[in-house]
A and B are shown apart, each in its own frame.
Chain A
Amino acid sequence: MTRVSFFGFRKSTAGGTPTVRDVRADRGFLVFENTGEVLQAERLLTEQGWEIRVMGPPPEIRQGCDLVIEFPLVEELQILRILTAAKLSPLRTVPVTSPLLQPVDIFQIKDFGRWLMVRAANMKLTVDKETTVIVNVSGGGCPDVPYLAASLVGQRLTVAPAPREIGHTLCGYALQLAYEEVRRRCSV
């Protein structure tokens, strides 16, 4: 198994932050360029019924008199898609309980000869190198994973929907990273 970094930085650990037993362990912060974008994003997401709130950032990510939006972290992919469509992409997203945590930053590659498997975080995508058909999606635990698998398996990389277009969760986000790496390795 080969491991390669897919982010250009090493992750940090948060010191003195709450543990995952915090009541908001499933929440994240959306960090924006300025307060105006925070307020626009708040209005947009509230109108669509999302459970969010505007608040001051924790010290680890505070930049000044700024605000952040607390949101359901697991549903990050869906929320980012909404914000990007409205040209309100956040600078970054971080877990509430450990704001300095970064997404998993390694790929694991396994070559089965005719087939290539790429794993990103907890998601694995396997492709037939000869036909570029996606043959399996494995791993993950959020409910969009079986849906993504049903949508992608059997499709060529050139026509398969990107997980970020139809997924909703952090598992979908991890699958997107694996999908991008497979495309890169298959020169698609």
Chain B
Amino acid sequence: MLCVAGTAPTDDFPLTVGEVRLGGEELVVGSSSLAVNRGTTALLAAAAATATELGKPPPVACLVGDTGTGKGSRKLYRHLTEFLPGASFGTMVFHYLQPIVHWQRKLQEVLGRLHPRPCLIADAGFMYAAKMSGAATLYDLFTPDAGELAFLADEEAPHPFYTRGFILHEENRVPDLIARAYRHGNAARYLLVKGRQDFLADAGGILETVDSPVEEALEAMGGTGDTLTGLVSALIDAGMDIRAAAVAAMRANRLAGSLARPTPATQIGEIIGHLPAALREVLAGPEGL
């Protein structure tokens, strides 16, 4: 089963653990509902849509409200350290959490003792914290965009805000940035790099490239990285190996984007509506389950 830990953009959303389903344009978690927008709600919506399409159980969300003060994130870190030893998830995704190194390390101790070990996926703030704390190699998959890849490649930067210019200028040289991130131990076992071209890489270099269809407008749209992470997580949890899941997710996410005929003003909810059809088309191809 897939578990996603993240935050909702409101301070009054209580810490909630429960199965997720899509109800119209809302995400229903236990007895609570939330609007689907960029962030963890978009990731969960994509994961839930994927699970439904595959006939798999819905993902479980560990969700709390946090508008950036870190209060909700701290509650969630604490809860996860207490909750996870008694749980058994096949795949765990950590998402928009405040990057706090000491809580990251406490959680890593718990994750290291889980048996069997789940597939560990990190994106957004939690990925920042994993890199900051020197624990990137403990994870199976990071899903950075091009800017975040530059941050992973910069062994000095504690946050993308401090990525050094000479590395940021290398952004178009993704293979070099990937190599640098691995050289300094700042990458997970696999990197899924989102951008004009999507890449899957490991310590040996780029394994897969997906570059069509191209929709320039998607670069401006908040949440397309979240849906990609949701897709790949649900596919891995459904039994695909990481490489096959990444290729299928990259293709389906790009196809859903194209089906929405996007402009830079398109919102992520419109993409999510096209994910089931895009996924069906991709899985009917050579990367199908």
Contacts and interface: CB of A to CB of B under 8 A. Distances in A.
B287 interface: no
Interface size class of B (residues with CB under 8 A): 35 or more
Interface in A55-95: 72-75, 78, 95
B96 A141 contact: yes
Interface in A132-150: 135-150
Contacts of A14: 156
Interface in B120-162: 123-129, 131-134, 145, 147-148, 151, 155-162
Max chain A Cβ within 10 angstroms of own Cβ: one of B41, B127, B156, B163: B156
A24 B158 CA distance: 10
Nearest to A134: B265
A74 B155 contact: no
B155 A103 contact: no
B221 A144 contact: no
A173 B161 contact: yes
Given A137-B38, A137-B222, A143 B66 contact: yes
Contacts of A182: none
B132 A126 contact: no
B214 interface: no
A139 B265 CA distance: 15
Given A110-B219, A112-B216, A136-B222, A149 B161 contact: no
A135 to B, nearest CB: 4
A144 B69 CA distance: 8
Nearest to B156: A98
Nearest to B105: A23
Given A20-B157, A74-B98, A115-B265, A149 B222 contact: yes
B38 A149 contact: yes
Contacts of B40: 146
A173 B155 CA distance: 21
Contacts of A150: 9, 37
B97 interface: yes
A139 B145 contact: yes
B156 A143 contact: no
Given A112-B216, A122-B151, A104 B221 contact: no
A146 B38 contact: yes
B160 A104 contact: yes
Interface in A154-188: 167-174
A128 B264 CA distance: 9
Contacts of A174: 160-161
A143 B158 contact: no
Nearest to B99: A74
Contacts of B41: 146
A106 B159 CA distance: 16
Contact of B162 (A102, A112, A142): A102
Contacts of A78: 68-69
A37 interface: no
A3 B171 CA distance: 12
B128 A117 contact: no
B214 to A, nearest CB: 14
B98 A143 contact: yes
Max chain B Cβ within 10 angstroms of own Cβ: one of A14, A115, A136, A146: A146
A10 interface: yes
B156 A20 contact: yes
B161 A117 contact: no
Given A95-B162, A104-B165, A136 B10 contact: no
A168 B264 contact: no
Interface in B1-52: 7-10, 37-41
17 contacts: A24-B101, A25-B134, A25-B158, A26-B100, A72-B70, A73-B158, A112-B220, A124-B220, A136-B266, A142-B99, A142-B125, A143-B39, A143-B98, A143-B125, A146-B40, A148-B68, A153-B267
Interface of B: 7-10, 37-41, 66-70, 72-73, 96-102, 123-129, 131-134, 145, 147-148, 151, 155-165, 168-169, 216-217, 219-224, 263-267
Given A128-B265, A147-B10, A168-B68, 7 more contacts: A112-B263, A121-B161, A142-B68, A142-B125, A143-B125, A144-B68, A169-B68
